[in-house]
Amino acid sequence: MTFQVRNVIFCLSKLEKQVVMAVSVARDLSVTVSDHTMDKLAERQQALREGIQKGEPKVLGVSQLMVGVTVISYSLPLLSTEFTEVMTFGVPWWSGIMFIVTGAVAIAMEKHANMKFLCVCLSTTGASLLVSLIALIFYFVDLENNPSKGCIEPSCMAEHHSIIFCRGVKSCLLLFTIVQTVISSILVYNLFKERRIFSQYTTLNQLIPPTPTTEVPAELN
């Protein structure tokens, strides 16, 4: 019996690691080992997933995607009018595409809720926020440089109505861009908060809690 106990102690010494381990010895002297550190990391990963989902990235992502599609579709009539700063630099196109991409990434966060994808989503959303601010500058400058002019002569009525139409469309695009700026700001804040809380667990998505293992001394086999 003393010889068997020594074998059990020898097996336990081989199973020691730098992490905290839970060891239990069954009546048949088999050793069951479970890793509490890995379990703790798994709990943190689940907490990260729940924290991300509380920020409703899918809802905000759908909103961004719809705003991007709306911006592009609303800008199509401007192709038949005189090109000003907004259309010359293609503001609705690159801003709308950026909104769509950011929305798609935010929607994917619902499925891939880990630190790596969180950082990707945070980067794209931050870029979208910057694009929104640049687009707002273009819209304000365009509306300021192209005011509507009063006209009572038949010869200039067509131009007058065209300017009013363009200003109306650009005002709508400006409003949609402001909405996108607000959505991006909310999403950036939520993602940055979660990243700061769980920054020390950057490899959570690669860690899978191991199932308990059973070691039996060779002499007992």
pLDDT digits (tens, 9 = 90+) for 159-197: 778 888 899 999 999 999 999 999 999 999 888 887 777
Distance CA 30, CA 50 (A): 38
| Other Cβ atoms within 10 Å of 129 Cβ, number | 20
pLDDT tens profile 1-43? 555 545 555 555 554 544 444 444 445 445 444 455 555 555 5
Domain positions in the chain are: 2-39+208-220, 57-206
pLDDT-derived band at 199, boundaries 50, 70, 90: low
Beta strands of the chain (E only): which ranges?
21-25, 31-35, 213-215
The model carries a pTM of 0.66
Locate tokens 């469309």: which residue? 169
The answer for 125, left when phi > 0, alpha when psi is -120 to 50, beta otherwise, is alpha
